[in-house]
Amino acid sequence: MIRRFPRIVAAAALLSLAVAGCDDTSGGGDSRPSTPPPTGSASPESPGTDVPDDTEEAVNETREDSVYPEVGDPLVDALHYDLALAWTPESDTLVATERLTFRATADADRVQLDFDDALAIETLTVDGVDTAYDRADKDLVVRHAVEANEEYLLEMTYSGTPQPFDAPTQRSDFRLGVGWHVTPEHEVWTIQEPYGAFTWYAVNDQPADKAFYDFTLTVPEPWTGVANGELTDTTVDSGLRTSTWHLAEPASSYLVTVAFADYTPTELQSSRGIPITIWGPTDDPEAIGETEYAGEAMDWLEQYLGPYPFDTFGILIYDGESGMETQTMVTLGATPYATSRAVVIHELAHHWYGDTVTPADWSDVWMNEGMAMYLQGMWEAEEEGITIDQKMDDWALFEGDERDYAGPPGDYDPTNFGSGNIYFGPALMWHELRQRLGDDVFFGLLRDWPADQENDTADRVEYLAWIEQETGEELSDFFDAWLLSPTTPPRD
């Protein structure tokens, strides 16, 4: 996420973020939208996109989240989501087909997914057999027995108007909630950190569970559906545009994005030839702000982090305020700050820290935001003609206030997700570690961690043990002070 300005200077600047029982066994919905379900490979009547030949990269050590245990279920290890989504702006209606391939992690007589009951399920099968289910709020309990390490195919058709879900934060840019959003112009955008993907598809909505994704998006032209990964095909038939997207690397659900609107793409590339696409609103070309800096931003980051870890990169501009490092397709609000070069640096940095290597638990979101913030600070210092020491001194002036407000970075208030405490304190911590280890060792760590953990998840224990192993230093007290202390540790 993009950060918000610290409260100590909020009055002098625009607030921005360093950016997220009933029984029902049959589908419902009295009316269907005018846009038909997507036809062909992702329709309910025929098989969807083939599951990738090798799903080993999507096999995860799932867990119950320590901060938000009510979301996600460690019994489910999602391997591949195939989502066919048809959006009718005129009626604000979604008609969808989902094919979820998952592995059971234990024997059980049922499986549970996150899926908001604002959407009506019409059909649900497991391995081709009609299956009963129960629903309550966002919990979908599928009454199908599973065995440990066996794979299953859950297929659903559903429809309705998705509704956003309350966000566990005081951040003003999340006042509309998380998940699926519909603008007054009937456009769609989605941001779901720390959760909210369940507002538009059935999902194991916890970051330790990464999966492959394919999307088939249908909407009346001239609108386009945009999602993560590579745009593999676009067709127009009877006034409907269908675009297909393939995400070649597994992603956590909070890093997925889908949007529908009238977009015009701008094609760019980095100096190494990585294709970059900026999807901006056709009726407001200036809304893309400074995002065309993306190629230069990638070049700058690769100096410190090594090669960009994915095949494509894009930025999607939506009618909002936040920013989110959605994997290979960053989602940015159409504001001057959210589309600034500094934010492009920040969200792109997350592709090493947050996307290719992802925290397994929301208690460790500092692993993402602290490093992206530090790299942003390095870039800002260069742009401002000051030293990184001066930049960190500036941030240290208010870091204690952020810690007082929302708690230590590694033990924050769960009702205050995404506050400044997870950004500035860890950024200062990384600078202190850099001074302690020296640049050669420090920047070696920065490059090696995402390369070693490519397409994986990790928690604090694994990360800090790895750093100690690589450096030969005993750093437990250092990290505990910076991540768990209610007050800012002394700085060198």
CA distance 398 to 363: 22
pLDDT score at 29: 34
Instruction: Please check whether residue 339 is in contact with residue 14, taking contact to mean a CB–CB distance below 8 angstroms.
Output: no
CA distance 237 to 162: 25
In eight-state DSSP terms, residue 37 is P
Percentage of the residues of the chain whose pLDDT score is greater than 90: 88
Strands 22-23 and 133-136: antiparallel
pLDDT score at 6: 60
pLDDT score at 49: 57
CA distance 407 to 414: 9
Which tokens sit at 155? 């297929």
The dihedral formed by the CA atoms of 104, 167, 70 and 246, expressed in degrees to the nearest 10: 0
CA distance 333 to 316: 8
pLDDT score at 27: 39
Give which of 25, 254, 57 is closest to 132, Cα–Cα: 25
CA distance 381 to 365: 24
Confidence band of 66 (pLDDT split at 50, 70, 90): very high
Give which of 371, 390, 370 is closest to 380, Cα–Cα: 390
Helix axis angle, 424-437 to 366-384, nearest 10°: 70
Q: In sequence order, what are the residues at sequence separation of 6 or more whose Cβ sits closer than 8 angstroms to the Cβ of residue 158?
A: 27, 96, 98, 119, 120, 121, 122
The stretch 99-106 carries a mean pLDDT of 98
> Is the bond preceding residue 37 a cis peptide, omega within 30 degrees?
no
Give the mean pLDDT of the chain.
92
DSSP H or E segment with residue 249: strand 240-251
The residues that bridge with 84 in the sheet, in sequence order, are 97, 216
The dihedral built from the CA positions of residue 422, 423, 428 and 434, taken in this order, carries a sign that is: positive
The stretch 344-367 carries a mean pLDDT of 98
Instruction: Please check whether residue 108 is in contact with residue 83, taking contact to mean a CB–CB distance below 8 angstroms.
Output: no
> Is the bond preceding residue 207 a cis peptide, omega within 30 degrees?
no
pLDDT digits (tens, 9 = 90+) for 447-463: 999 999 999 999 999 99
Phi and psi of 51, rounded to 5°? -65, 140
Which tokens sit at 369? 């935001």
pLDDT digits (tens, 9 = 90+) for 233-275: 999 999 999 999 999 999 999 999 999 999 999 999 999 999 9
Number of H helices, E strands in the chain: 8, 23
Confidence band of 4 (pLDDT split at 50, 70, 90): low
Instruction: Please check whether residue 437 is in contact with residue 448, taking contact to mean a CB–CB distance below 8 angstroms.
Output: no
